[in-house]
Each structure stands twice: as structure tokens, then as C-alpha cells.
């Protein structure tokens, strides 16, 4: 079994897929109160935003502009673009994702948490190979520390 096959098996075996429509129905207008984004955080995003927007020179704590916050919320919505979210079934994976949320976000996932679901992953993209872009980097990170 090669690495990609092992990764595909891990995803099929250890993650449940929930349609985004169920999350939308469950939380309706309470997205911002009930769905927490663990990573990427607004603080992480601000650093990247400042690098990408040279005109942004202010200290984030003293900034009066909402541009960064608006951009963060557009790029990290409470309901991800892809029509499914991925819930780790294994408690060890749940805990690892929660404790390494920033690393998981570096693999292109948004890490969410709710009281009812626990930790789950979303992707804000479509039309490309998720395994190459997201799952293989996550698999490598997960196997590295396992």
C-alpha cells in the first residue's frame, strides 16, 4: 500500500462526512454563537493580511479598520464552501486535531468545533484534488507525531 492509498483508507475509515445543509439547518441564525473556528485564528490571519497588504501598517490591536476582519470572515466562513464537512470518528484524531489546529489549518482546512459535533474540518475550495492539496499533508503531519 502506498502513501496515498493509506491516506485514502484513513479518510474513508476514520472520518464521517456530514452535509453542510444539515449544519445550516441545525444552527440556522446561530452560526456565530454556536460554531467556533479553532484555526486559522483571526490573529494568524492578521499576520498574513499585513504581509499581503502593504498599505496595512497599523498595530492590529489599535486598528479601527474592519477590512481585515471582513476579509477573514469571507475567507473563513462558519459554513465552509465545500458541501461536506469531515468529522474524525477516532477520539485520538479528535484530540490531535484540537491540539494541533494551527498545523491542520496549514494543510488548507478550517478547523471547527461545536458542542454537539465536536471537532470537524471544512474546506473552502472546489475543483481540485483534495487528497493532494489537503489530506496527504494532514496525513503526513498526523503520522509524523503518532
86 forms beta bridges with 17, 121
Domain coordinates of the chain in residue numbers?
3-39+79-145, 41-75
69-116 residue pLDDT tens:
777 777 777 777 778 999 999 999 999 999 999 999 999 999 999 999
Mean pLDDT within 22-44: 85
In total, the chain counts a number of residues equal to 146
Whether the pTM exceeds 0.85: the reply is: no
pLDDT range class, residue 56, cuts 50, 70, 90:
low
Is 1 a residue whose pLDDT tops 60?
Answer: yes
49 neighbors 56 (Cβ within 8 angstroms):
yes
Is the preceding omega at residue 40 within 30 degrees of 0, hence cis? yes
Amino acid at each position: 500500500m502506498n502513501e496515498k492509498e493509506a491516506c485514502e483508507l484513513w479518510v474513508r475509515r476514520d472520518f464521517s462526512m456530514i452535509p453542510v445543509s444539515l449544519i445550516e439547518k441545525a444552527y440556522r441564525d446561530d452560526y456565530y454563537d454556536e460554531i467556533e473556528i479553532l484555526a486559522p485564528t483571526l490573529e494568524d490571519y492578521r499576520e498574513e493580511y499585513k504581509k499581503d497588504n502593504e498599505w496595512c501598517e497599523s498595530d492590529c490591536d489599535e486598528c479601527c479598520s474592519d477590512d481585515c476582519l471582513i476579509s477573514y470572515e469571507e475567507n473563513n466562513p462558519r459554513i465552509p464552501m465545500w458541501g461536506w464537512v469531515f468529522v474524525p470518528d477516532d477520539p485520538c484524531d479528535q484530540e490531535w486535531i484540537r491540539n494541533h489546529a494551527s498545523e491542520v489549518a496549514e494543510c488548507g482546512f478550517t478547523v471547527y468545533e461545536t458542542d454537539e459535533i465536536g471537532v470537524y474540518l471544512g474546506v473552502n475550495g472546489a475543483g481540485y484534488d483534495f487528497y493532494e492539496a489537503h489530506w496527504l499533508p494532514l496525513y503526513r503531519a498526523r503520522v509524523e507525531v503518532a
